Structure 1
Amino acid sequence: MLYDAREMKKDGMDIVIGLIETHGRKETEDAIADLEKVPLKEIEYKGKVFYELDVEGIIKRAPQVVVVDELAHSNIPSSKNKKRYMDVQELLEAGISVLSAFNIQHLESVHDIVAQITNVKVRERIPDFILQKANEIQLVDATPEVLRKRLIDGKIYKEEKIQQSLQNFFTLNNLGALRELSLREVADDMDEKISQTVIEPIGVKEKILVCVQYSSTAEKLIRRGWRMANRLNAELYVLNVERENIDSLSASKKQTIEEWKSLTNQFDASFVLEEAKGRKPADVIIEVAKRLQVTQILLGQSARTRWEEIRKGSIVNEIMRQTKHIDIHIVADQRV
């Protein structure tokens, strides 16, 4: 990223540094020494002073290109925008091109895969549409051995964090798996861009319906559904069926629904909230599926015991019985 920034300056482009986290690394400081830097914005919070990207200052300066580091960063609570990628959206809307970078573990759609690989739940994430809107994507590739050497040499973190990082996140196995994940994501992006240039035969457009309930796997199902929809260039819908009146839901349930809506919106999908009104959940799902003309339904593994299925019936079996022309995907809890 910094090499590209210097090359752009050599080519006569008006490029500035909006924010670069050097972490005290001389190598990084030297790399940006000759580039103009827009001063950071001071923000006081809880008696301390913090420094964030000065969006207004950059827009006033109006360069052709601005370099913004740590795209997944969460801004200080009193900031205008909650996340740095939202700052970047403002800059883009102002007609300023942005050069940025992030690590694969910060991409929203691969959150569950990364957690499975590393046993670490990454809190700071960016929505996939940010990546999809990029004019150009470059994979900065390095072998796990090279990355670990950079860490040991103090080129990634300060000395006090090195040993802990080597033993936890920066293991050879983790880095190897994350590298493979990065390669696949870039390959998928290239395949999608190529497919958009090909005239496809007229046919039924795929539509995917993800059904969520109050369980720990709900958000994982939404991400899984989006990855399917993205590969199939399909429309995505997320459905929650409520047995009780929506207005009488508890505060915690309403909060959960808002979180589902937010994640659904990040994937540019549609959230559907339906009251059962005395109907069986399976009947509501079938009705919505037919109304939306979906071609695939994604369900989590049933929480009902075998005895409950005998007494109340199997939701999955009922849906399959009444939807002969819809593909049904049942995702096991450990695979979501």
Structure 2
Amino acid sequence: MKTSNEERRKTPEELLKLIEKESRGYLKIFIGAAPGVGKTYMMLREGNELLKKGVDIIIGVIETHGRAATAAQIENLPIFPLKKVDYKGKQLEEFDLEGILERKPQYVIVDELAHTNVPGSKNQKRYEDVMELVKAGINVMTAVNIQHLESLNNTVEQLTGIKVRERIPDWILNEANEIQLIDTPPETLHERLKAGLIYKPEKVEQSLKNFFRIGNLNALREIALREVADDVDERLESYKLEKGIHGMKGANEKILVCVNYRPNAERLIRRGWRIANRLKCQLYILNIPLIPVHKMDKETRKQHRLLEKLAKDLDAEFHIRALGGRKPEQLIIEFVEEKGITQVVLGQSARSRWEEILKGSIVNKIMKGTKYVDILIVADGVDNRE
């Protein structure tokens, strides 16, 4: 009798995943630390190599940003026309998702993965267009910079002082069949920038003083290298798990992030996501509002919706627990026991030191009310609790 893991009968869920995997397209993401590293250039060059081999490949949308060397790489690649979208009395051009789906090429190049589509488009974000193409069985090559990852938003802003508006959820990397890092040393990027190969001359000086400072580029490069290295490790672990080589590391870990409506809420959620992602485990977000959501003022309700959306983008479970006359720490302890939480992420207490002395520390109360639970306190960066 055959009893090996490979030869056992698959469950209906496993069969469905296998069918979906075999019918979906191949997704390759070119990723870099900053604009100008050569992602689009390399993507187009690879596209031309496929074209020469007789592969049916087209360009769905491309952004050369006026870079002659990048534009030259288009060579013989056919470009699919952009669609016209009427918006506020103007006619704008946008990636034609419906047209590509009808054309159904073997491969399509879709640049600027983090792009936000023109209002009125089928999907709000271009990464949603890309996933729709992949699910339809079309192979996609796309490109993005590391600063656009949702979980790195706060880190990038702290490093560079720049708030990145266009963002993509981190799970998109897990959907990729292949990730290729285009690595260029910061000194080389500086030379390209000064030579006018990245931006127009009028933007060079400002860029050198802001985003393209050597310190920023080194930090972003290190983040990009680490992110791709972590992705390789995760794929290896998934392969070992799939083949039954060993059990899943961190399978019993569960991370809980407790948030209110303070400015550090998004930062806490992103920190929790990165911990959960490293351990390959579930992330929970717990919100304990002082008043019901429907009674909140307009600004607080807006912030509440943003937290819910961020949790959804990071594939986390978002939970709301009403106080009901109880204290926040009691609800947190109950949630920890209910879900089997192993790590709790909290922000610095808004209480003053005198309040903590008189009323007791919330952290200490949670520690006393739970067993075998690690608690991480994430600093606000500014100590204003005197």
Change beyond 3 A, Cα 1:16–1:221:
same
Spell out, residue by residue over 1:244-301, the C-alpha distance to the aligned partner (whole angstroms, 9 max, x if none).
2333222322222211111111111100111010100000011111101111111011
Structural mapping, 1:257-268, within 5 Å: 257-268=304-315
Q: Where does residue 331 of structure 1 map in the other structure? A: 378
Q: Where does residue 219 of structure 1 map in the other structure? A: 266
Moved more, 20-29 or 221-230: 20-29
Q: Where does residue 120 of structure 1 map in the other structure? A: 162
- Asked if structure 1 preserves the Cα contact closer than 8 Å seen for 2:250 and 2:280, the reply is no
Tell me the TM-score normalised to structure 2 length: 0.83
CA–CA distance in structure 2, aligned partners of residues 261 and 245 of structure 1: 15
Q: 2:60 aligns with which of 13, 18, 37?
A: 18
Identical-residue share of aligned pairs (%): 54
Q: Where does residue 252 of structure 2 map in the other structure? A: 205
Spell out, residue by residue over 1:76-113, the C-alpha distance to the aligned partner (whole angstroms, 9 max, x if none).
22322221112112212221111011111111111111
- Asked if structure 2 preserves the Cα contact closer than 8 Å seen for 1:2 and 1:32, the reply is yes
Change beyond 3 A, Cα 1:204–1:44:
closer
Does residue 63 of structure 1 match 2:105?
yes
Query: Could you tell me which amino acid in structure 2 is paired with residue 84 of structure 1?
Result: R
Does residue 185 of structure 1 match 2:223?
no
Per-residue deviation at 1:243?
Answer: 2.5
Does residue 135 of structure 1 match 2:177?
yes
Q: Secondary structure at the match of 1:279?
A: coil
Per-residue deviation at 1:204?
Answer: 6.3
Q: 1:40 aligns with which of 82, 90, 98?
A: 82
Does residue 77 of structure 1 match 2:119?
yes
Query: Could you tell me which amino acid in structure 2 is paired with residue 121 of structure 1?
Result: K
Moved more, 243-252 or 233-242: 243-252
CA–CA distance in structure 2, aligned partners of residues 269 and 260 of structure 1: 11
- Asked if structure 2 preserves the Cα contact closer than 8 Å seen for 1:243 and 1:275, the reply is yes
Per-residue deviation at 1:44?
Answer: 2.5
Task: Give the root-mean-square deviation of aligned CA atoms.
Answer: 1.6
- Asked if structure 2 preserves the Cα contact closer than 8 Å seen for 1:243 and 1:277, the reply is no
Moved more, 199-208 or 106-115: 199-208
Q: Secondary structure at the match of 1:67?
A: strand
Query: Could you tell me which amino acid in structure 1 is paired with residue 258 of structure 2?
Result: C
Higher RCO (CA 8 Å, separation ≥ 6 residues): 2
Tell me the TM-score normalised to structure 1 length: 0.95
Per-residue deviation at 1:211?
Answer: 0.2
Q: 1:234 aligns with which of 272, 278, 281?
A: 281
CA–CA distance in structure 1, aligned partners of residues 251 and 207 of structure 2: 49
Query: Could you tell me which amino acid in structure 2 is paired with residue 70 of structure 1?
Result: E
Spell out, residue by residue over 1:198-227, the C-alpha distance to the aligned partner (whole angstroms, 9 max, x if none).
312798610000000111110000000000
- Asked if structure 2 preserves the Cα contact closer than 8 Å seen for 1:286 and 1:322, the reply is yes
Aligned pairs, number: 335
CA–CA distance in structure 2, aligned partners of residues 201 and 130 of structure 1: 21
CA–CA distance in structure 2, aligned partners of residues 28 and 263 of structure 1: 34
Change beyond 3 A, Cα 1:202–1:145:
closer
- Structure 1 residues not aligned, in runs of 5+: none
- Asked if structure 2 preserves the Cα contact closer than 8 Å seen for 1:246 and 1:275, the reply is no
Query: Could you tell me which amino acid in structure 1 is paired with residue 110 of structure 2?
Result: V
CA–CA distance in structure 1, aligned partners of residues 73 and 282 of structure 2: 44
- Structure 2 residues not aligned, in runs of 5+: 1-42, 241-245
